[in-house]
Amino acid sequence: MDLGGSREIRYLLYLPDEYASSAEPWPLILFLHGGGEAGEDIRLVKREGLPRLLDHWKHFPFVVVSPHSLRKAWSIPELSLFLDRVEQTYRVDRARIYVTGLSTGALATLRLAIHSPERIAAIAPVTLHRLPEGLCRMKPVPVWAFHNARDGRAPARVMKKMADALKACGGDVQLTLYPVEGHDAWSQTYNRSDLYEWFLKHRRP
């Protein structure tokens, strides 16, 4: 997708089977991969998280767009512009835009909600390694966060601090800590049907 000038973001796209035959707008999930999937090879995006599962699911009721970053750190202005183009290109419901990501994608999920809280209905960050600035700006955006309690690479206390900070601002946030070791909290998370049911309960005014 061309962002103007020489900058282009490549992405994976999932459309529900009924998309072509329906005139209705569809809820959108923007999925942001982790740092290990950055680089030149877009096939890496399907290595972890939600895009890995979509080929095996039927009747998933979302449009899913999974952009690919050349760098480990996501550019939030570029993501915001990318989301503009997605809204213009596909028949999506602008009141039901959800963002989720893992590891560095979780940080970008929060940063995008801080940047544009007025356009995002809910977010689900998975495995956070550091806190972004300005969390209180995103307090209108409901959050369901996920982390492994014994993650040696990204301590769970970082996600707990995020949840506590948002609650102190008056934000709507819940935190699920899996009682396991390791960095991968996303395999279990993206297999949860209740996550997608939770997304659909939220709609921007």
**What CATH number is attached to the domain comprising 120?**
3.40.50.1820
Predicted confidence (pLDDT) per residue in 62-93, tens digit? 999 999 999 888 999 999 999 999 999 999 99
Cβ neighbors of 179 (< 8 A, separation 6 or more) are: 149, 150
Domain assignment of residue 184, given as a range: 11-200
Angle of CA points 6, 98, 12, to nearest 5°: 45
Predicted confidence (pLDDT) per residue in 32-72, tens digit? 999 999 999 999 999 999 999 998 887 899 999 999 999 88
Measured distance between the N- and C-terminal CA atoms of the chain, rounded to whole angstroms: 29
Burial of 53 (0-12, 13-18, 19+ CB in 10 A): middle
Tell me whether residue 189 is in a domain: yes
User: Mean pLDDT across the chain, nearest whole number?
Assistant: 94
Tally of CB atoms within 10 A around 201: 9
pLDDT of the residue at 1: 56
Tell me whether residue 48 is in a domain: yes
Tell me whether residue 20 is in a domain: yes
Q: Span 9-34, mean pLDDT?
A: 95
From residue 37, how far is each of 22, 51, 68, 136, 142 by CA, in Å?
Answer: 33, 12, 8, 29, 27
Tell me whether residue 4 is in a domain: no
Q: Span 113-118, mean pLDDT?
A: 98
Tell me whether residue 2 is in a domain: no
Total domains, the chain: 1
Tell me whether residue 29 is in a domain: yes
Tell me whether residue 56 is in a domain: yes
Tell me whether residue 72 is in a domain: yes
Q: Span 141-170, mean pLDDT?
A: 96
Report how far residue 142's alpha carbon sits from residue 200's, in angstroms, rounded to the nearest whole number. 12
Report how far residue 174's alpha carbon sits from residue 157's, in angstroms, rounded to the nearest whole number. 14
Predicted confidence (pLDDT) per residue in 177-199, tens digit? 999 999 999 999 999 999 999 99
pLDDT-derived band at 107 (thresholds 50, 70, 90) equals: very high
pLDDT-derived band at 2 (thresholds 50, 70, 90) equals: very low
pLDDT-derived band at 8 (thresholds 50, 70, 90) equals: confident
